[in-house]
Structure 1
Amino acid sequence: MLQISRTLTLPDTELTERFLRADGPGGQHVNRTESAVELRFDVASSPSLPEPVRARLLSRRDRRMTDEGVLVIQARRFREQARNRDDARERLADIVRGALAAPKKRLATRPTRASKERRLAGKQQRGKLKQGRSRDWSGE
């Protein structure tokens, strides 16, 4: 059971773990043990996720999400399989926690009069600077 928040948990039956050989330091040991973890979670067909959370997760532009709606997390940071397994589960929990809160709507605002004047003054100053360069260069 993976605890996401007080109200949301993901049962272990919805998580698929695959262990594979990791690259990196470890000597001969790294060639013999399968310490890296690939954690898969089917977001599209998970009955545990509320519909708004599922929609937010699926709408994210994330390279870890497959076209079928499966979130794939690879953990190979540590040399021990157990630590990589915990790392993958924690990263999955962080991703789902990020989708729990709905993003705030952006309130349309207008630029103030002073900010418009500052912008235009800056443009005029820049234009005069460039104009001054061209006169000096022509030899006049």
Structure 2
Amino acid sequence: MLVISPHLSIPYDEIETHAMRAQGAGGQNVNKVASAIHLRFDIRASSLPPAFKHQLLSLSDQRVSREGVIVIKAQSHRTQERNREDALARLKEIIAGALAAPKPRRATQPTRASKRRRLDSKQRRGQRKALRGKVES
């Protein structure tokens, strides 16, 4: 079970992992060993509560496909085990981030000093632009 929070976990049989060869430089090891992990998690077919599914599907993250599948490719480590751990940690991070409630914004008034600084900079900018005109002799 991949534990996301104390009250939420995902069974490993809902997470599909596939080993493949990594891309990029690395010499003979990269060319021979399937150490990269391609992880797929189908949000719609998962056992997550409907509210959590909706939040995940509404994410504007390129790792979430139109079909509702989270796709993660982990290839930064040399071993398959470390890459699998990395992919699962990234999946956990995506799900936990989507489930966290955003902090509500409190409306505040600008301070007197910030208003003064804004007006002073506007005045300086206007003077600088006024000096750009033609010079009369």
Same fold, TM-score > 0.5, yes or no = yes
The match for 1:58 is 57
Q: Distance in 2 between matches of 1:58 and 1:139?
A: 65
Q: 1:71 to 1:62 in 2, by over 3 A?
A: same
The match for 1:68 is 67
Q: Distance in 2 between matches of 1:139 and 1:44?
A: 73
Give unpaired runs (5+ residues) of structure 2: none
SS of residue paired to 1:9: strand
Q: How many matched pairs?
A: 137
Q: Compare 24-33 and 65-74 and name the one that shifted more.
A: 24-33
CA drift of 1:18 comes to 1.2
Show the 5 A alignment for 1:55-134: 55-134=54-133
Instruction: State the 4+ residue runs in structure 1 displaced beyond 4 angstroms.
Output: none
| Deviation by residue 1:40-91 (Cα, 9 ceiling, x = unmatched) | 11123322x2333322222221111100110000000111111111111111
**Does structure 1 conserve the Cα–Cα contact (< 8 Å) formed by 2:59 and 2:98?**
no
Instruction: Identify the structure with the greater helix proportion.
Output: 1
Give unpaired runs (5+ residues) of structure 1: none
**Does structure 2 conserve the Cα–Cα contact (< 8 Å) formed by 1:37 and 1:81?**
yes
CA drift of 1:113 comes to 4.6
* AA partner of residue 135 (structure 2): S
**Does structure 2 conserve the Cα–Cα contact (< 8 Å) formed by 1:26 and 1:79?**
no
Query: If the length of structure 1 is used for normalisation, what is the TM-score?
Result: 0.85
Query: If the length of structure 2 is used for normalisation, what is the TM-score?
Result: 0.86
